[in-house]
Amino acid sequence: MTTAISVKNLGKQYKIGAAETKFRYNMLRDVIVDTVSAPIRLAKALVGKSDRRMNQNFIWALKDVSFDLDEGKVLGIVGRNGAGKSTLLKILSRVTEPTEGTVTVRGRVGSLLEVGTGFHPELTGRENIYMNGAILGMKRAQIDRNFDAIVDFSEVGQFIDTPVKRYSSGMYLRLAFAVAAHLEPDILVVDEVLAVGDAEFQRKCIGKMNDVAQQGRTVLFVSHNMSAILRLTQEAIVMKKGQLIKRAPTPEAVDFYLASGQAESGERVWEADEVPAASAPFKPITLKVRERSGKVVDTVRSTEPVVIEFEYQLDAPVTGLRVGMYLNTMRGEYVFTAFDTDDAKQYEQFGARAAGRYVSRCEIPADFFNEGRYYLGVNASSFGVKRYFMDENALSFNVDISGAPGTQWPEMRQGPIRPRLNWKIEKITD
């Protein structure tokens, strides 16, 4: 068996904070000084010496990553946002250069991220197929050979000579995907985290990935969706803060990932300067997602209850207060809205609250969520009087559906909830 990808001591450093000092003018004096010193800054910038004012901090998005992958293997990559997964894929597909280390890749790398890149709205479907194919590195003969298959796959048929600006967004996406799907890469890279489009489209991506894997080609698959990783890969690596911390058969790697290193997530802390002055006397402190054992987690299991905990401070007594949350899906659809004083008795008792520190805690029952990522927003208000504080996107968390109803069928279920319903099956006649 030959090695398809060999990564050695790979590292990628990014500059951060370079732009922060810009546009922070306090006085006219600053503006004048800035303008006068502009030519000097220009000269320094062009010869590569950075300005003293641009105090640059560096972070390692990827550090000391090494692994080999044999041809024909499907490797899952899991890790939190910012763990370096996407950076790794970008280096493998040569979009960006590493700062240190080497990669040896045998064969052509294709990615389903490139879908529709270089499409021009004024060009017809046919013209865009050739254009996009060339951008993705296909030879003209290869496009000619696959042309009919691409058109078939895209289902745009009779509109192939219509400018794509007249296409519906669905047609546009289908055509774009059809080109990418016929790219025939030796190594396919799928970053589901960044995949655009609706559930249907994501399903197509996963389907394509499966096909490629079955043809014996090498696949790298990044996902937050543990059941997809479990279903589609045999082996996985776990990344944390730019480092590869575990490589194991997928079930073991997923368990490791879910059980460790997640404590710092599943929690949102508000710093003093993040809270607008207008929200006084209400002051948010933390929002946490806990699993049954009480551990703060980024990924919860659908089959277990989830506790949402909002801690806040009241600097003065407030009457008519309700503190609550919005729950949204990744696509921005509301799942529900709920407040801590929704219950009439609770409202009698806690509608008026004295100054002090509080926690509003609620439990979302087991067998509630479908798989995917959910966003939590928080809100504190007195109905009809004042909205003290609102953050519509305070925290997000993943739901893992292992063991949930219907998981014996490897398919995506529609809808944001996945209840365990009490089905009764009766035989009423022979």
Partner 1 sequence: MTEPTTIYIKPSKGLAALNLRDLWTYRELIFFMVWRDVKVKYKQTLLGMAWAVIQPVMTMLVFTFLFDKVAKLPTEGIPYPVFSFTALLPWGLFVVALNQGSRSLVAHNNMVTKIYFPRLILPMSSVFAGLVDFAIAFVILIALMFYYQVTPAWNLLWTLPLFLLLAIITALGIALWLSAINVKYRDVNQALPFLTQFWLFATPVAYSASVVSDKWQILYSLNPMAGVVNGFRWALLGAGNGPDITLWVSATISVLLLISGLFYFRSMEKTFADTI
What's the min distance (Å) between Cβ of 182 and partner 1?
A: 15
Asked if residue 304 binds partner 1 (CB under 8 A), the reply is: no
What's the min distance (Å) between Cβ of 316 and partner 1?
A: 48
What's the min distance (Å) between Cβ of 75 and partner 1?
A: 17
CA distances from residue 352 to 49, 142, 316, 318, 325 in whole angstroms, order as listed: 60, 72, 11, 6, 19
- Residue from 56, 104, 234, 393 that binds partner 1 (CB under 8 A)? 104
Segment lying near partner 1 (by CB under 8 A), choices 106-114, 228-236, 296-304, 305-313: 106-114
What's the min distance (Å) between Cβ of 73 and partner 1?
A: 15
Quote the CA–CA distance of 384 and 176 in Å, as a whole number.
Answer: 49
Segment lying near partner 1 (by CB under 8 A), choices 113-121, 233-241, 332-340, 364-372: 113-121
Quote the CA–CA distance of 3 and 17 in Å, as a whole number.
Answer: 39
Length of the chain: 430
Asked if residue 118 binds partner 1 (CB under 8 A), the reply is: yes
What's the min distance (Å) between Cβ of 105 and partner 1?
A: 5
Asked if residue 403 binds partner 1 (CB under 8 A), the reply is: no
Helix ranges restricted to H, 215-268: 226-232, 250-259
Quote the CA–CA distance of 65 and 358 in Å, as a whole number.
Answer: 44
Contacts of 190 (CB under 8 A, 6+ apart): 111, 112, 205, 206, 209, 219, 220, 221, 222, 223
Quote the CA–CA distance of 318 and 347 in Å, as a whole number.
Answer: 13
Sketch the per residue contact string, 152 through 171, with partner 1: x for CB under 8 A, - otherwise: -----------x--------
Quote the CA–CA distance of 328 and 76 in Å, as a whole number.
Answer: 27
For residue 240 the two structure tokens come to 């944390």
CA terminus-to-terminus distance, the chain:
57
Asked if residue 137 binds partner 1 (CB under 8 A), the reply is: yes
What's the min distance (Å) between Cβ of 41 and partner 1?
A: 10
Asked if residue 131 binds partner 1 (CB under 8 A), the reply is: yes
Bridge-based pairing state of the strands 321-329 and 334-339: antiparallel
Asked if residue 178 binds partner 1 (CB under 8 A), the reply is: no
Asked if residue 136 binds partner 1 (CB under 8 A), the reply is: yes
Contacts of 142 (CB under 8 A, 6+ apart): 133, 184
Asked if residue 244 binds partner 1 (CB under 8 A), the reply is: no
What's the min distance (Å) between Cβ of 107 and partner 1?
A: 3
Distance of CA 358 to the CA centre of its chain: 32
Asked if residue 86 binds partner 1 (CB under 8 A), the reply is: no
Asked if residue 90 binds partner 1 (CB under 8 A), the reply is: yes
For residue 15 the two structure tokens come to 């500059």
What's the min distance (Å) between Cβ of 99 and partner 1?
A: 6
For residue 272 the two structure tokens come to 């003093």
What's the min distance (Å) between Cβ of 48 and partner 1?
A: 9
What letter represents residue 192's amino acid? E
Asked if residue 120 binds partner 1 (CB under 8 A), the reply is: yes
What's the min distance (Å) between Cβ of 10 and partner 1?
A: 9
Asked if residue 102 binds partner 1 (CB under 8 A), the reply is: yes
Segment lying near partner 1 (by CB under 8 A), choices 78-86, 111-119, 154-162, 307-315: 111-119
Asked if residue 182 binds partner 1 (CB under 8 A), the reply is: no
Quote the CA–CA distance of 227 and 251 in Å, as a whole number.
Answer: 10
- Residue from 54, 59, 103, 160 that binds partner 1 (CB under 8 A)? 103
**DSSP string spanning 343-386?**
SHHHHHHHSSB-SEEEEEEEEEPSS-B-SEEEEEEEEEEETTTE
Sketch the per residue contact string, 184 through 223, with partner 1: x for CB under 8 A, - otherwise: --x-------------------------------------
228 in helix, strand or coil?
Answer: helix
- By CB under 8 A, the count of residues binding partner 1 is 43
Task: Please report, as residue ranges, which positions from 5 to 24 form the binding site for partner 1 (by CB under 8 A).
Answer: 14
- Residue from 43, 95, 352, 359 that binds partner 1 (CB under 8 A)? 95
Quote the CA–CA distance of 71 and 106 in Å, as a whole number.
Answer: 9
Residue pair 175/153 in contact (Cβ under 8 Å)? The answer is no
Residue pair 176/116 in contact (Cβ under 8 Å)? The answer is yes
What's the min distance (Å) between Cβ of 47 and partner 1?
A: 11
- Residue from 32, 42, 359, 385 that binds partner 1 (CB under 8 A)? 42
Contact footprint for partner 1 (CB under 8 A):
14, 42, 45-46, 90-109, 111, 113-114, 117-118, 120, 122-123, 127, 130-131, 134-137, 139-140, 163, 186
